[in-house]
Structure 1
Amino acid sequence: MKTLSPSDLSAIEAAVRQAEARTTGEIYCVVTEESSHYGETAIAWAAGVALLGPALLLLGGVHVTIPDLFASWTASDVSAAMESAVRRALIGAIALQAVLFVVTAAIVSIPAVRRALTPRSLKRLRVQRRAAEQFIAKNLHLTSERTGILIFVSLGERMAELIADDGIADHVEPHVWDKAMAALTDGLKRGQPEAGFAAAIGLCADVLAAKFPAHPGGNPNELPDAVVVLPRP
């Protein structure tokens, strides 16, 4: 997972500043290492593998033996032997399940493994939720003309979200942002998030400049141009 260097952040900030010179729209960029800890992924995989414990014992040839009924055993001897054999089998199965749970949880907790084993749909939901939280937390909904745009990137998942405020959404169809999002996600996949950001910001500026051109008498900058970098939650 590539992180953004100081020079990358400066380049993105310059791209935002250049883009906003053409429009009254406000472009705000937020980057996070990851949108969730996905702790449930490790637990789910560990529990699933642990449930295989009894099946693994059977495949390994471990089973409860039945005493020879023709031997000179009394009924109490047979009962005690069966009880002991069943107890050992249960203890063995429980111990194996515990070991499988702990080992699997430890392996899946490795960030790269956890990301690979987390369903893409869950990652998408978490990225969308974190982006929506940041849109409100950074006050993008409070610009004077409601023309704020959040470009949110989650590096661990290699996913991005774009949220436009009501003032833009009322005049621009959602599909208009598809090219910008495609450019951004392409940069993430290629391990060049800074290039993806620059391309997406330029494409967003083209749309905003056409619908919300800069005022001749002045173009106040209501939101910081610098990229906000968030830690893992």
Structure 2
Amino acid sequence: MKTKSEKVKSPFTPAEHNRIDAAMAAIEHDTSADLCVVVTRASDRYALYPVVWAAIGAIVLGALISLLRPEIASRTVIEIQLWFLIAMTLLLDWLPLRLRLVPKRVKHAHAWQLAHREFNAHAMANPEQQHRILLFVSLGERYVEIVADHETHALAPAGAWNKIVDEFLITVKSGRVADGVLDAVAACGSILKTHHPALNAS
């Protein structure tokens, strides 16, 4: 069975898409397993975090105004709080700020869940295929995971998956996300070609 075509959800340039497509096509004919790539901006909207933090700020602001300027009418204080709540909610809804509000463990938990949902979705879409690898990258959470079926995971050399992830993160830190994906695809493809060669391979 051929390798599945690459699926990327993040905004790579057309040239970067073409490079990744070419890398996937090169692997496609050399393995009987399924290799998929999912890259997303963020694994969740975390929509409640801007509202919660803006509400906390509004409460604190109201308390400070009442403490420092007790002569200001309660109605005016409430109006100030409402405007502050609206303005801060809109400001904190900007994705980079929104992600900073979310604890790291929460972000990684959401990314982990999305990675495994994607893996299961690909498995359900092609149940006849027993061997598969999913390279999952969530840019906002700075989270990378390689999900593989049990047999493929066990066949890889000790530490192989962690090494691919570590090298990917090093490349991404230098701002070369597409290059990191390409290197990881090549490394995953090498494992698949070694342990699950194409059925028609000589």
Whether TM-score is above 0.5 comes out as yes
Q: Which has the higher contact order (CA 8 A, sep 6+)?
A: 1
Q: Paired residue for 1:46, among 35, 40, 54?
A: 54
CA deviations 1:129-148 (Å, max 9, x no partner) are: 22222222233784645211
SS of match in other structure, 1:30: strand
- Give the TM-score of the pair, scaled to structure 2: 0.79
1:33 aligns with 2:17: no
Which residue is 2:104 aligned to?
Answer: 120
| Alignment partner, residue 92 of structure 2 | 108
Indicate the residue corresponding to 2:70 in structure 1. Answer: 63
Report if the CA contact (8 A) 2:46-2:102 is conserved: yes
Structure 2 match to 1:226: none
Equivalent residue for 1:4, pick from 5, 8, 12: 12
Partner of 1:133: 117
The equivalent of 1:165 in structure 2 is 149
Contact 2:123–2:129 (Cα < 8 Å) also in 1: no
Number of aligned residue pairs? 193
Counterparts of 2:130 and 2:124 in 1: how far apart (Å)?
A: 8
Query: 2:25 matched to 1:13?
Result: no
Structure 2 residue aligned with 1:230: none
In 2, Cα distance between the equivalents of 1:96 and 1:197? 48
TM-score by length of 1: 0.70
Cα distance 1:191–1:11, how it changes in 2: closer, same or farther (>3 A)? same
Q: Which amino acid aligns with 1:62?
A: R
Hey, what does 1:154 align to over in structure 2? Answer: 138
Secondary structure of the residue aligned to 2:155 is coil
Pair 7,114 (structure 1): closer, same or farther in 2 beyond 3 Å: same
Gaps of 5+ in 1: 65-84, 220-233
Q: Secondary structure at the match of 1:52?
A: helix
Task: Give me the identity figure in percent.
Answer: 25
Within 2, Cα distance between the matches of 1:143 and 1:135? 12
Deviation of 1:42 (Å): 0.7
**What RMSD, in angstroms, separates the aligned Cα atoms of the two structures?**
2.8
After superposition, what is the alpha-carbon deviation per residue over 1:36-64, rounded to whole angstroms, capped at 9, x for unaligned?
222112112111111202332155x2126
What is the alpha-carbon distance in structure 2 between the residues aligned to residue 132 and residue 149 of structure 1? 11
The separation in 2 between residues aligned to 1:199 and 1:27, in whole angstroms, is 14
Letter in 1 for 2:69: V
SS of equivalent to 2:62: helix
Contact 1:46 1:100 in 2 (8 A): yes
**Inter-partner Cα distance in structure 2 for 1:16 and 1:142:** 18
168, 182, 187: which is aligned to 1:203? 187
Structure 1 residue 178, shift from structure 2 partner: 0.8
Asked if the contact 1:180–1:200 (Cα under 8 Å) also holds between the matched residues in 2, the reply is yes
Q: Please state whether the residue corresponding to 1:139 is helix, strand or coil.
A: helix
Equivalent residue runs for 1:157-196 within 5 Å? 157-172=141-156, 175-196=159-180
Given candidates 94, 103, 109, the residue that maps to 2:78 is 94
Q: Which structure has the bigger radius of gyration?
A: 1
